[in-house]
C-alpha cells in the first residue's frame, strides 16, 4: 500500500510541474482531480531465462563419428526446473540438447515445423509462475525469431 501511495504522490507532483510549465497553477490541477475518486496503477514484471549456446568441444584424436559417444534415451517427465538449466545446443533433426547444472544432458524434441539449427545462438524462455519448463505449454524462443513448443524430454545416458 505504501508503494501505491508513493506512486500516486509522484504522479501528482509530476503533473503539477507539467501544469506549472504550461503557465497553469497547481490549484487548477487539484480542481481537475477533485472529481476523480479512484486511482489505478498497473505494475507488470516479466522475467526471461536465457540458455546460452554451448558448443560441443572435439576431443583430441576423436574427429570421426565412429568414436563419438553414443547415448541411450530415457524418459524424464513432462517438466524441468528452469533453475537447473544452464546451456543449450542444437541436436539432431528437430531436437535441442539442454545441459543442467549437474552436467546431465537432456534432449528436448521440438514441435512440428521447428528446426534445431535456428537455436544456434541459444534459447530463451519466459519464466512461468511455477518455475518449470513443460511440454505442450511453454515456448522456446530463438534469437532468429523462431518460437517452438516442446513435444517431449529425454534424458541422455552414455552407453
Q: At what angle do helices 2-21 and 26-33 cross, to 10 degrees?
A: 130
Task: Return the DSSP state at 94.
Answer: T
pTM recorded for the entire structure: 0.61
- What is the tens place of the pLDDT at every residue in 40-83? 667 666 677 676 666 555 445 545 555 578 899 999 999 999 88
End-to-end CA distance of the chain: 58
Q: For position 55, what pLDDT does the model report?
A: 59
Arithmetic mean of pLDDT, 86-92: 88
Q: How many CB atoms lie within 10 A of CB 129?
A: 5
Amino acid at each position: 500500500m505504501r508503494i501505491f501511495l508513493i506512486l500516486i504522490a509522484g504522479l501528482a507532483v509530476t503533473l503539477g510541474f507539467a501544469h506549472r510549465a504550461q503557465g497553469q497553477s497547481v490549484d487548477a490541477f487539484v480542481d481537475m482531480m477533485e472529481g476523480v475518486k479512484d486511482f489505478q496503477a498497473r505494475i507488470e514484471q516479466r522475467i526471461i531465462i536465457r540458455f546460452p549456446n554451448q558448443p560441443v568441444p572435439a576431443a583430441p584424436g576423436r574427429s570421426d563419428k565412429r568414436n563419438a559417444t553414443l547415448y541411450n534415451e530415457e524418459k524424464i517427465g513432462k517438466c524441468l526446473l528452469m533453475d537447473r538449466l544452464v546451456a543449450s545446443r542444437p541436436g539432431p533433426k528437430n531436437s535441442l540438447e539442454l545441459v543442467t547444472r549437474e552436467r546431465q544432458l537432456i534432449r528436448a524434441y521440438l514441435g512440428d515445423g521447428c528446426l534445431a539449427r535456428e537455436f544456434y545462438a541459444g534459447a530463451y524462455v519466459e519464466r512461468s509462475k511455477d518455475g518449470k519448463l513443460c511440454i505442450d505449454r511453454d515456448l522456446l524462443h530463438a534469437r532468429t525469431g523462431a518460437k517452438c513448443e516442446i513435444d517431449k524430454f529425454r534424458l541422455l545416458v552414455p552407453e
